[in-house]
Structure 1
Amino acid sequence: MKRGKHVYTVLRYAFTSIFALGMMYPLLWMVSSSLKDTSEIFIHAHQLIPSQFKFANYTNGIKGFAGISFVVFFKNSIIITFFSVIGAVLSSLLTAYGFARIRFRGAAIWFACMMTTMMLPHEVLTIPQYILFQKLGWINTFKPLIIPSFFGGAFFIFLLIQFMRGIPKELDESGKIDGCGVFGILIRILLPLLVSPIITVSIFKFYWTWDDFFSPLLYLNSPKLATVALALKNFSDPTMQTDWGALFAMSVLSLIPILLVFAFFQKYMVEGISTTGLKG
């Protein structure tokens, strides 16, 4: 029995390792290509270890293109992502608190309307939103990429509502006895208990905003306002020879913030998702 159990354990770990290697291979290939000469990337694509390490790809990539450094593109992405995360967290938290803890007429109808928006494809809203932002004079600015985040998101609101419903309402009553108002209950009682779902919302919003390509492509016309995702696309020029080594080097750097966020906050992310919907 013990021998069979050991064999099963070895096979399980072997299969998991092979599967993990297969999932990580594209990432390893990109890191390897960022250290290769452009002529070697596709000729010796199967070799993960470069014949000669070319760290100059990173310095060449940082120089950017059209006289604009890649540092500018990283700065643009950081600005957009930071304010989008702040807006999404604040607006979604307040909206979820209203649905979960405050009784008002028509709450069920408004909640149903909010949930219905999750079924709308993003493509359906693209043209009306573009026309609206054009009328407001927001095209070629960061406003269309940031300000909508301050109006919440149905998925984030639903996630926070489910978590709040798992918190006993007796805590609200005790807060009222101690003199807390509506916002006092949220800030002093509920907010410390909502750390995990708030971090989960922040991580999701960070991922979706940092990796977003379509929205910057639609609203940003000036190269100086481009985000990292858009700059990586513009880095490759089909009319000229593309410096693929520098392109892959910047792609590797663009993944570092995502990997760092996941490494430091995955515990809260898993906890926030796994406890959502549980009632205490």
Structure 2
Amino acid sequence: MNVKKTMGTICYHVFVCAFGLVMIYPVLWMITGSLKNNTEILNGSLGLIPPNWRWDNYATGWRGFGGVGFGNFFRNSFIVTVISTAATVISSGCVAYAFARIKYKGRNIWFALMLATMMLPGQIIMIPQYIIYNKLGLVPSFVPLVLPHFFGQAFFIYQMMQFMASIPRELDEAATIDGCSKYSIFTRIILPLLKPSIVTTIIIQFYWKWDDFMGPLLYLSQPKTYTVSLAIKLFADSTSTTDYGAMFAMSTLSLLPVFLIFLFFNKYLVEGISTSGLKG
């Protein structure tokens, strides 16, 4: 019986490791491709070990193009991503608290309208949004990329509401008896307990905004304002030879911020999934 159980465990781990390798293989191929030249990349080989380790691809890619270095593109991405993420966390938390804990006239109607925005494909509102921002004189600039996040994001509002639902209302009532206002209840009681949900929002929103391509493509027109995702795409030049090694090198570097965010906040993300939202 023990032998059968051991063999089952071994088979399970072999399958999981093999499946994980298949999933991560494209990323590994891109990372090793950043150390190859164009011929080695385009010859169709699926090998991961570069014949010659070309570290100069990183130096070439970092120089950028059009007189603008990749350091500038990374700075632009950090500005847009950090502001958008912070605005999303603050605004979505406030709106979620209003929906989940405060009773007022028309709350159900506003909640239904919020859910309706989740059902609209982004392509439908893309053109009207662009026309509005263009008439306001905000194109080209970073404003259209960050401004909507100051008014809450439906997905994260709903997520935080579900998390707040697991926090006992008796805490609110006890705080009210002690003389706390709605604002004090939110900042002193709800917000600290909401930390796992907030961290989940930070990770997901940071990832979405960092990898956003369509937004910068629509609203940015000057090379010095491009974000990383847009700059990497422009490495591929259909009119001349594309330096795939440099493009893969910058793609590899672009993974680092997302990887570090997930690495540092992974503990809180797991905590948000495994707990009910109430500590102690």
**TM category, shorter:** over 0.9
Contact 2:133–2:139 (8 Å) recurs in 1: yes
Letter in 1 for 2:70: F
- State the percentage of identical aligned residues: 52
Backbone CA RMSD of aligned residues: 1.4
Structure 1 residues 197 and 108, CA, compared in 2 at 3 Å: closer, same or farther? same
Q: 2: distance between equivalents of 1:45 and 1:100?
A: 55
* 1:70-126, Cα deviation, whole Å (9 max, x unpaired): 000000000000000011011101100101111101111111111111111111101
Matched, 1:164 2:170: no
Deviation at 1:38, TM superposition (A): 2.1
Q: 2: distance between equivalents of 1:99 and 1:228?
A: 36
Residue matched to 1:53: 53
Letter in 1 for 2:80: I
Q: 2: distance between equivalents of 1:103 and 1:120?
A: 27
Secondary structure in structure 1 of the residue aligned to 2:194: helix
Letter in 2 for 1:256: L
Matched, 1:237 2:237: yes
Deviation at 1:243, TM superposition (A): 1.0
Matched, 1:197 2:201: no
Secondary structure in structure 1 of the residue aligned to 2:239: coil
Matched, 1:212 2:221: no
Letter in 1 for 2:41: I
Q: 2: distance between equivalents of 1:147 and 1:8?
A: 53
Q: Which deviates the most, 8-17 or 267-276?
A: 267-276
Contact 1:200–1:273 (8 Å) recurs in 2: no
Q: 2: distance between equivalents of 1:111 and 1:267?
A: 31
Deviation at 1:269, TM superposition (A): 2.0
Q: 1: distance between equivalents of 2:210 and 2:276?
A: 25
Structure 1: runs of 5+ lacking an equivalent: none
Contact 1:36–1:54 (8 Å) recurs in 2: yes
Q: 1: distance between equivalents of 2:235 and 2:30?
A: 16
Secondary structure in structure 2 of the residue aligned to 1:20: helix
- Runs of 4+ aligned residues of structure 1 deviating over 3 Å after TM superposition are 273-278
* 1:198-237, Cα deviation, whole Å (9 max, x unpaired): 1111111101100000011011111111100000011111
* 1:233-269, Cα deviation, whole Å (9 max, x unpaired): 1111111111111110000000011111111212322
Q: 2: distance between equivalents of 1:238 and 1:255?
A: 25
What aligned pairs does 1:1-280 form with structure 2 within 5 A after superposition? 1-43=1-43, 45-275=45-275
Structure 1 residues 219 and 276, CA, compared in 2 at 3 Å: closer, same or farther? farther
Q: 2: distance between equivalents of 1:124 and 1:197?
A: 29
Q: 2: distance between equivalents of 1:277 and 1:183?
A: 20
Contact 2:210–2:229 (8 Å) recurs in 1: yes
* 1:177-200, Cα deviation, whole Å (9 max, x unpaired): 222111111111111101000111
Contact 1:203–1:261 (8 Å) recurs in 2: yes
- The TM-score normalised by the length of structure 2 is 0.96
Aligned length in residues:
278
Q: 1: distance between equivalents of 2:144 and 2:275?
A: 33
